[in-house]
């Protein structure tokens, strides 16, 4: 109780929104459960300016007890609570670490009433959490930051979501001119802001791309439909803020640096640890089909943001056909490969439609043009002619290694600093920047 100054306690059924500004339309930055407490900093026109936990904002004074009444009520609400100390902590159905028993996430600063404790675990109403990442103490409930998925959606003023299964074209002008005016692509469930509505078109901003997409509801969603799709699609991502960031085999600075990643990409987060996150890079074509392990990046130096986010448009221009025979062949190979973007990754697969792994994808694309390469990436890396990155052309193959230095992933260069590759079970066949992680080899297998 002594931790609070001018104490207030929320009296609502459910939640009371904490807003960024003292107005009903202000951005929601947090939520306060019934009987959560705060320090009232100021009052103005029916709003309290409050501090509660890590949240500072405004709540409607209509639903808040204050003064002696609040003190009396708050004393009755003091109980043993677990205060989360990790960035994110799994809530499990049983007190054991298993892949199939995670039912939710507890976020740093959140407080949960303790039902029981023992053997390194804390039981709360929704399951079990590890006692290593929570402090148990007598306390009151406080505000929590707004649901992180909702925050991802809240970054858009006029949300639009692509409903296609692979990619939606972004054009430089509100007209379908075939390949001529394509400047970018929105992956499935990618988000953008509508800047202007025209006849049959939306002018949008998505990532670094501003252009036009169709407003046909068969391909785009707005309003509540967009919010529902975005809520499902938002996922925890590592967004790199520096040109290149070291990736280590273990979550400590003594561990080996085995590759570097680029700020041009958003990387799915597998696990959050104290000061580190494990990211999903891609899946190799050797071993047992498991994703690369040991892909850890540090979050301690403010070089990476870990947040729920939506995918956005990527820059892209189709290869133009050319009179030069060799260049024309390369254009045809790349444009053919791009037809299968959005299709699934299947370890050991070679089907461009039903699923392929990385080397199965490149082998099948090249086979369509009478070019034969071996089945797996480490053997493909020994075919053709080795070239420098400054000399690579569309259709060349780029190879990457696992943490042991063994080549186990391959992609096809498509021009404009981009590749197409069968990335992982999570991502399928997708477009990435060519140096989304450090390449090991580049081979010309076409000439």
CB 265 within 8 A of CB 433: yes
38 is catalytic: no
Is the CA virtual torsion 89, 283, 289, 406 positive or negative?
Answer: negative
Residues 132, 122: Cα–Cα separation, whole Å: 10
Residues 126, 259: Cα–Cα separation, whole Å: 39
49 is catalytic: no
Cβ–Cβ contacts within 10 Å for residue 402, how many? 22
CB 315 within 8 A of CB 209: yes
Nearest CA-CA partner of 442 in 398, 377, 393, 382:
398
- DSSP 3-state percent helix, strand, coil across the chain (nearest 5): 15, 45, 40
CB 170 within 8 A of CB 182: yes
Residue 382's φ and ψ, nearest 5 degrees, are -105, 10
Residues 153, 223: Cα–Cα separation, whole Å: 12
Residues 282, 427: Cα–Cα separation, whole Å: 8
421 is catalytic: yes
Residue 27: both structure tokens together: 């951005």
Half-sphere exposure of 237 (CA within 13 A, CB side): 20
Residues classed as catalytic: 358, 409, 421
């Amino acid at each position: 109780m002594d931790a609070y100054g001018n104490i207030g306690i929320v009296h609502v059924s459910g939640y009371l929104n904490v807003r960024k500004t003292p107005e009903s339309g202000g951005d929601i930055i947090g939520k306060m459960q019934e009987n959560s407490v705060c320090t009232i900093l100021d009052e103005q026109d029916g709003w309290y300016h409050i501090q509660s936990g890590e949240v500072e904002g405004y709540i409607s004074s209509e639903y808040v007890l204050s003064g002696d009444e609040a003190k009396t009520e708050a004393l009755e609400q003091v109980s043993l609570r677990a205060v989360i100390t990790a960035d994110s902590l799994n809530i499990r159905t049983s007190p054991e670490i298993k892949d199939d028993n995670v039912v939710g996430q507890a976020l740093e600063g959140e407080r949960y009433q303790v039902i029981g404790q023992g053997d390194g675990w804390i039981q709360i109403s929704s399951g079990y959490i590890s006692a290593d990442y929570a402090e148990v103490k007598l306390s009151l409930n406080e505000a929590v930051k707004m649901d992180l998925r909702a925050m991802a959606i809240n970054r858009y003023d006029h949300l639009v979501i692509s409903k296609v299964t692979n990619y939606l074209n972004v054009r430089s002008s509100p007209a379908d001119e075939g390949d001529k005016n394509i400047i970018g692509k929105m992956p499935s469930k990618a988000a953008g802001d509508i800047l202007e509505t025209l006849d049959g078109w939306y002018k949008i901003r998505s990532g670094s791309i501003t252009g036009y997409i169709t407003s046909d509801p068969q391909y785009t969603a707005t309003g509540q439909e967009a919010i529902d799709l975005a809520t499902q699609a938002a996922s925890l991502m590592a967004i790199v803020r520096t040109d290149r960031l070291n990736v280590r085999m273990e979550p400590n600075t003594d561990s080996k640096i085995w590759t570097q990643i680029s700020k041009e990409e958003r990387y799915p987060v597998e696990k959050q640890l104290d000061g580190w996150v494990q990211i999903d890079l891609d899946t190799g074509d050797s071993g047992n089909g498991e994703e690369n392990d040991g892909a850890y990046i540090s979050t301690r130096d403010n070089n990476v943001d870990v947040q729920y986010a939506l995918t956005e448009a990527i820059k892209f221009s189709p290869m133009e056909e050319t009179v030069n025979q060799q260049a024309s062949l390369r254009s045809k190979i790349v444009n053919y490969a791009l037809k299968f973007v959005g299709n699934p990754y299947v370890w050991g697969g070679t089907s461009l439609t039903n699923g392929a792994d990385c080397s199965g994808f490149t082998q099948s694309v090249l086979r369509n043009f009478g070019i034969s390469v071996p089945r797996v990436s480490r053997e493909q890396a020994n075919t053709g002619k080795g070239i420098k990155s400054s000399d690579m052309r569309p259709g060349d193959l780029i190879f990457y290694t696992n943490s042991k230095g063994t080549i186990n992933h391959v992609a096809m260069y498509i021009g404009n600093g981009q590749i197409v590759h069968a990335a992982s079970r999570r991502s399928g066949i997708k477009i990435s920047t060519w140096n989304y992680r450090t390449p090991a080899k580049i081979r010309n297998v076409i000439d």
